[in-house]
Structure 1
Amino acid sequence: MSDSFNWHEAATKKWDQNVTFWSEKSRSMWSQGSRAGIIPFIKNYIPDGSKMADIGCGDGHGAFLLSEAGYTVTGVDLSPKMIEHANQMRGDRLTFTQGDLADLPFAEDTYDGLMAINSLEWTEDPKGALEELRRVLKPGGRLCVAILGPTAGPRQNSYRRLYGEDVICNTMMPWEFEQLAKEGGWGAISYGYGVFKDGVKEDVVRSFPNQLQQALAFLWVFMLEKQ
């Protein structure tokens, strides 16, 4: 990566430019696509009424659905344009603020629960970002993280790094994230569940060992607990 490259500025510009595209795609992802199971999964681990933040909220639709599910939610995104779009949504338990995952604008031990869906891959330092999520989570609080699987198309955003080009995507394998979380002091790591592409016979895949399931996944969802 070149010395003059500013990841923060490049990422902000990219997501500012993608507001329309992302907002059109987001609703279908949350209603019937790869993210449809995430909020039901969260409800199994984080009690209704908990104070939560959606970190990397994008257009805010996921944060809105969290609030509709009974949580008090703050949506956070790096992109001012995304937050401007998200603020069009209304809810008694819903607010939005612009912020960087690498340096969140919250005090320590603020939230009962956090949701970070495909946001760690878009940070320059995923390890540091995970530590920042841990900082703002209360002891015993839980963090739902979704990581792109090996079969996910968006992983191509990191490919050009092999040519020495500047990129803003830091893809990792689901099992690499799991190791990162363990080494970062997280306890009670749930293997969660995988989302697979059309054509995959899930009844067959579910019988495979966990890491082999992750190798075939489009998305893998984890639940972590702050010890």
Structure 2
Amino acid sequence: MSMEFNWHKEVEKRWDGNVQFWSDKSKDMWENGSRSSIVPFFEKHVEAGSRVADVGCGDGYGSYKLNQAGFSVIGVDISPKMVEYANQQAQEGLQFQVGDLSSLPFEDHSFDGLIAINSMEWTETPLLALQEMRRVLKPGGHLCVGLLGPTAGPRQNSYNRLYGESVICNTMMPWELEQLAAENGFRIKDGEPVYKEGVTTAHTEALARPLQQALTFMWLSMLVKQ
């Protein structure tokens, strides 16, 4: 990777330029599409009323859904323009601020729960992001990570690494994330697949967990701070 390449700045620039594109599709993903199972999965493990940060919140629609479910939510994103848009759309009780997943603007032990949906993929060093999220969680706090699976089209963002080019999308696999988490202060509590059309849990329930993950568009991991 060249010395001139700044991952943080490139990610910020990419998402600053994606505000309208993302906001046009975000609501449908959370209501009906690939993100519609996330809040119900989170609710199974974290009590309503808990203080939660949505890290990598984008346009803030996921934060809104968590707020509607009864959580006290603050959204954080690396993109100032995403945060500006989210604040313009914010419902009462919601707030958004700029922050880097690898250097969160919060005190230690600030949150009961965190949610990071397709945001660890955009970090240069996922371990630093994981350590930061652990830092701001209370002991026993829950972290829900949604990680793009092997069948996810957006993983194409990392393809040009094969030509030796600098890219800003990480190719970490769900089983790698869970191993990294288990080695760095988290317990794996639960997991849930999100599949593309054509694959259902009926096809995969008899498979070992790594094989289930290998077919996913996204894998939801529920981690607990040890």
TM over 0.5: yes
Tell me, in whole angstroms, the C-alpha distance in 2 between the residues paired with 1:190 and 1:65: 23
**Where in structure 2 are there 5+ consecutive unaligned residues?**
none
> TM-score under structure 1 normalisation?
0.97
Shift of 1:36: 0.4
Tell me, in whole angstroms, the C-alpha distance in 1 between the residues paired with 2:75 and 2:41: 19
CA RMSD of aligned residues (A): 0.9
**Contact preservation (8 Å) 1:64, 1:89:** no
**Where in structure 1 are there 5+ consecutive unaligned residues?**
none
Partner of 2:212: 213
Q: Name which of structure 1's ranges 141-150 and 202-211 shifts more when overlaid on structure 2.
A: 202-211
Partner of 1:166: 166
For the pair 1:33 / 2:14, whether they are aligned, the reply is no
Tell me, in whole angstroms, the C-alpha distance in 2 between the residues paired with 1:127 and 1:163: 25
Shift of 1:190: 2.6
Tell me, in whole angstroms, the C-alpha distance in 1 between the residues paired with 2:25 and 2:132: 28
Partner of 2:120: 120
Letter in 2 for 1:112: D
**Contact preservation (8 Å) 2:190, 2:223:** no
Letter in 1 for 2:192: Y
Partner of 1:71: 71
Tell me, in whole angstroms, the C-alpha distance in 1 between the residues paired with 2:26 and 2:127: 26
Shift of 1:221: 0.1
For the pair 1:204 / 2:203, whether they are aligned, the reply is yes
**Contact preservation (8 Å) 1:127, 1:180:** yes
**Contact preservation (8 Å) 1:55, 1:116:** yes
Letter in 1 for 2:123: T
Partner of 1:190: 189
Tell me, in whole angstroms, the C-alpha distance in 1 between the residues paired with 2:108 and 2:16: 28
Letter in 1 for 2:150: P
SS in 1 for 2:222: strand
Q: Which digits, 9 at most, give the CA deviation of each residue in 1:77-132, with x for residues without a partner?
A: 00000001101223333110011111110000000100000100100110111000
Partner of 1:84: 84
**Contact preservation (8 Å) 1:71, 1:93:** no
SS in 1 for 2:83: helix
Shift of 1:25: 1.0
Tell me, in whole angstroms, the C-alpha distance in 2 between the residues paired with 1:94 and 1:162: 41
> TM-score under structure 2 normalisation?
0.98
Tell me, in whole angstroms, the C-alpha distance in 1 between the residues paired with 2:136 and 2:200: 39
Partner of 1:153: 153
Letter in 2 for 1:58: G
Tell me, in whole angstroms, the C-alpha distance in 2 between the residues paired with 1:34 and 1:156: 17
